[in-house]
Chain A
Amino acid sequence: MDSNRKSKKPAPGRSKPSPGAGAIFFIVLAAVTVLAWILPLRPTVSEKEKRNLERFPDFSVSSLLSGDYFEQIGLWFSDTFPGRDIWIQLSQGIESLHGRSSVMIYGTMDAGDAIPVAAEPEVTPGPTARTESASLPKPAEEAAATPEPAPTPEPTPFWGGKVIEDEELITLGAVIQVGDSAYAYTGFSKTYSDIYADAISRAAEMLDGRCRVFNVFVLHSTTLMLPREYRESIGCACEEDILEYLESRLSDKVYNIDTFHALLPHNNEYIFFHGDHHWTALGAWYAYEDWCRLAGVEPVGLDKYTESIQEPFYGSLYYKANQAKKLTVDKVYAYTPPGDVHLYIHNGEKDTREKRGYEQTLITEIRGTDKYLCFLTGDLPMCTFVNNDITDGSACLILKNSAGNPFCYYFTQHYQYVYVLDYRKYFFRSMTDFVDYYDVDDVIFCFSAGQAQSAAGSGRIDYFVR
């Protein structure tokens, strides 16, 4: 290449290309251009990425002058490109040629805090299983023994902080793909773990003598599916240590479910998805089994439930993994509770016992690929299970993120009312307001390790516990 002259003539021996030789390029360019401008072909939602795609921007003079308007048009144009899933698949195919490794890392690996060694257990005995009749008076008994409390003023929505819409925002670290499964990179934040543990402890203190408080800290599949030595070698925080640390920091009034030891013996079963950060309904059942042990009740086996399967399920990690084709495609097994159980869905604004919202099928048939939405129809502010076969007025409150969605079904066999709040979307009542108003017997906090250790997650839980 002669850098100082413009080469207009072909080198000796080379034939000058005819202008027609490039016709294929212009045909392809024209075809894709036409395709790109058929607006009805443009998708508005990406199921794989679980997000709404860019919308065409609204016009304003200020956005025009700043250049934002045109930039947004460019974003809309590329984000909603017709056939985007096919293009992305092609792109992922090309990216899979970048290297050869059975392990892949996606995203940036952030170093977390060092996990403190758990404090020595105190001499006072920890919480032991209590029977309902022995430990807590029945609501009816309590009502007879104590004067009726003065009606509390109607609460007003109190949360003015950040509304957490997207769980991926607070996933710790990157994603690692090992063989046919993807795993979240686990980290540890002492600051936020402390806020979380203190909030749960405070809840137990505040409700002492009124409700039992359970903590279900849902671990990542990384912790239960990959050997500890391997996790240590790749710089993952070992969540069993985090669980131990939390246990040491939690009040002894908190019933802490040992999700690590409850699930570990079953890690050869389908307890976590291959391409999603959630546990399966089966994984959730093993944690429920441990809850039963602590709560002093008999677990209801899955054989009593009606199993249904929805597939294919492309989860959050599936999209993050560029070599997603190597991942085993997931199925969602859902279990419909036995008995006369109904599910009601409420938008969480000015909820009352009389207004439970509209009734929804217990397990929703999902048309798209995010089959995990079949549980509770996704992350709604407030759901209520009513089991008409139980008539004692018993009630539990489950405050959860999406990890709790398959988990809460199992409680329908033990309470007449199971109130399920998504802490990211329910803002109407504080914890004590809710417990008093709905006459709740037990409170269960069920959070994924990632959210419990995030600034927004722990902060929001902390604020709810009032």
Chain B
Amino acid sequence: MVFSSLFFLYAFLPASLIAYALCRTLQAKNISLLVFSLIFYAWGEPKYVLLLMGMALFDWFFALRIDASDKTAARKLWLALAVITDLGLIGFFKYSGMVCSLFGPPPAFVENLALPIGISFYTFQLLTYVVDVYRGEARAQRRYWHVLLYAALFHQCIAGPIVRYQSIAAELFEQRRTGEDLSEGVLRFTLGLTKKVLLANPCGALADQMLLTEATAGDAARLAENLRHLSGQSALGLWLGVLAFALQIYLDFSAYSDMAIGMGKMLGLHYKENFDHPYISRSATEFWRRWHISLGSFFRDYVYIPLGGSRRGTARTLLNLLIVWALTGLWHGASWNFVLWGLYWFVFAAAERLFLRRLAGRLPNFLRAVLSHAYLLFVALMGWVLFRFTDIKLAGTVIRGLFGANGNPLADFQSVVEGKSNMFLLAFCIVASTPVFRKLRLWWAEKASSDAGKSLYQAVVYGILPAAMLLVSTAGLVGNSYNPFLYFKF
């Protein structure tokens, strides 16, 4: 099940909210949350709910052993077992096909292995739990179902954000003030829903139109045909497609985080922000501080810093960065283009650290701001081309075609029509990718000083706006079969 579906909005969500509201105690509320979370997960993957429960069981047990052990060696042993189990399972389900393909055609059972939805998210969450217990930053949870609830919580189980155990444990199991942020939660949830349905989905449809659908592009049997199609696509068409894809992936991913954060707030659970308008960045490093923050902080805290971070010289720092970026790429999908995409970002992050930042510092402020931003956008857009196409030949064709190097026209009828037909959508999405709307809201909130002004602000922002967004999103979902879920491969 996905949040942006009518069944979720008008069956699952109301039922879960009613059940939650009817429960009096925190324990009863949590049991209700757990039951609905397991139903939510089992809706799309009935058999893999057992995998989720099993992994939570292992990590619950390993954390208890770590907590109970006084000796460092024993603690390390239990930690190692936990890490091997978690990474082994994710490796088996997610990467066995990729590894087998290095040695020839993968066996049938590997080819038929379905990727359990959300495995990359909940595995990392469970890892943070065990490691935090090992580090003494969190106490081991005595109750298995508490660990299961933490991993399976439907708000963030299948599309993030990756919530660290210690950041949520107190609200989840000790004290929760449900209702305090209800209106904020509702607003955030409906903003995310609208972002997904009214902005990300049309951008995705445009990207598919100009760059081939993911299914078509991923069909190896159609490679020659796909190459012919893409090499004939006009430069304007390709730019439109790449821009639309860049907007789709940000708006879609951040929309899921918005909805998760919003639903959490409705119940008194506060998850960390996962996106902070990454396209306004001026460097690759800054981009990744603003993009998928929970993943970046996971790799920082659980890989980069344990490897020594930047404290052991330039060469070691670069090696650590290389490892982190390769893992970041690999996390996004079991395909070599994702590894390449991760390494691509490493090159720019490393170049910035070594010399680009210094070079940029010599430029006048205005010029530096403009050029840095243009540089980041260019790097990000080219990066999305690598990300989108699992076949590197297709990505190369698109990148060449962007500059008219395929002998393709700069513009043609289709690209001009599509450009005109979507110009307001794209312009609105670009603005929505910046903090403009948030700043407008804050400005209004500050200006509304009188009681009447405050009431109007609250009625519009927390009352009318969420209801209207729910209705228009519903309209966007009825009868519209195009509602992609981008994270199945994560």
Whether a CB of chain A sits under 8 angstroms from the CB of B132 is no
Task: Determine if A355 is an interface residue (Cβ-Cβ < 8 Å).
Answer: no
Sort A-B residue pairs by CB-CB distance and give the 4 closest, nearest first: A21-B462, A101-B420, A87-B478, A17-B183
A98 lies within 8 A of B11 (CB)? no
* Set A11, A28, A94, A99: member contacting B467, Cβ < 8 A: A28
19 cross-chain CB contacts under 8 A: A5-B272, A8-B181, A11-B445, A15-B457, A19-B182, A22-B463, A24-B467, A25-B463, A25-B470, A28-B467, A29-B10, A49-B479, A73-B7, A87-B474, A88-B478, A88-B479, A98-B423, A100-B421, A103-B421
Cβ contacts under 8 Å, A23 to chain B? 463
Known A3-B272, A3-B276; judge A22-B445 contact (CB<8 A).
no
Q: Closest chain B residue to A11 by CB distance?
A: B442
Question: What's the nearest-Cβ distance from chain B to residue A240, in Å?
Answer: 20
A264 within 8 Å of B (CB atoms): no
**B417 with A103: CB separation less than 8 A:** yes
When distances are taken between beta carbons in the complex, the residues of chain A under 8 Å from B317 are none
Q: In the complex, what's the smallest C-beta–C-beta distance from A67 to chain B, in angstroms?
A: 5
Contact, CB under 8 Å: A81 / B6: yes
User: Within 8 Å CB of B470, what residues of A?
Assistant: 25, 28-29, 32
User: Which B residues from 213 to 250 make CB contacts under 8 A with A?
Assistant: 228-229, 232
Q: Which of A105-113, A279-287, A390-398 contacts B (4 or more CB under 8 A)?
A: A105-113
What is the interface size of chain A, counting residues whose CB is below 8 A from a CB of the partner?
64
Determine if A90 is an interface residue (Cβ-Cβ < 8 Å): yes
B residues in contact with A18, CB < 8 Å: 183, 458
Chain B, 40-86, CB within 8 A of any chain A CB: 42-47
Say yes or no for B1: interface residue by CB 8 A criterion.
yes
A173 vs chain B, min Cβ distance (A) = 11
Q: How many Å from the CB of B392 to the closest CB on chain A?
A: 23
The answer to the question of B190 belonging to the interface, with a C-beta cut-off of 8 Å to chain A, is: yes
Complex Cα spacing A109 to B45, Å = 35
How long is the Cα–Cα vector from A73 to B182 in the complex, in angstroms? 30
Nearest CB on B from A236, distance (A) = 10
**CB < 8 Å A-B pair total:** 197
Additional 7 contacts, C-beta under 8 A, given A17-B183, A91-B476: A3-B289, A19-B179, A22-B466, A23-B463, A29-B10, A32-B471, A91-B475
Select one of A14, A73, A81, A234 contacting B445, CB under 8 A: A14
Contact of A25 with B5 in the complex, beta carbons under 8 Å: no
| A25 pairs with B229, CB closer than 8 A | no
Q: Which residues of B contact A (CB under 8 A)?
A: 1, 5-7, 9-11, 13-14, 42-47, 167, 179-187, 190, 198, 202, 208-209, 228-229, 232, 270-273, 276-277, 289-290, 293, 297, 412-414, 417-425, 435, 438, 442, 445-446, 448, 454, 457-459, 461-464, 466-467, 470-472, 474-480
> What residues of chain A lie closer than 8 Å to B47, measured between beta carbons?
65
| A11 surroundings in chain B (CB, below 8 A) | 442, 445
Inter-chain CA distance A17–B184, complex, in Å, is 7
Q: Provide the residues of chain B in CB contact with A27, threshold 8 Å.
A: 467
Residues of chain A in range 343-362 having any CB-CB distance to chain B below 8 Å: none
The answer to whether A8 and B270 touch across the interface, beta carbons within 8 angstroms, is: yes
B421, B438, B464 pick with most chain A CB within 10 angstroms = B421
Q: Is A235 engaged at the interface, CB distance under 8 Å to the other chain?
A: yes
The docked-state distance in angstroms from the alpha carbon of A387 to that of B209 is 51
What A residues does B424 contact at CB under 8 A? 97-100
Is A114 an interface position by the 8 A CB rule?
A: no
Q: Tell me, in angstroms, the Cα distance from A3 to B478 when the chains sit together.
A: 34
The answer to whether B13 and A29 touch across the interface, beta carbons within 8 angstroms, is yes
Kindly state the separation between the CA atoms of A66 and B273 in the bound complex, as whole angstroms: 34
- Determine the chain B residues whose CB is within 8 A of the CB of A70 once the complex forms: 1, 42-44, 46
> CA separation between A19 and B177, bound complex, in Å?
12
Q: Does A6 contact B (CB under 8 A)?
A: yes
**Shortest distance from the beta carbon of A316 to any chain B beta carbon, whole Å:** 15
- From residue 25 to 55 of chain A, which have CB atoms closer than 8 A to chain B? 25-30, 32-33, 36-37, 46, 49
A2 within 8 A of B: yes
Report B-chain residues with C-beta under 8 Å of the C-beta of A4. 272, 293, 297
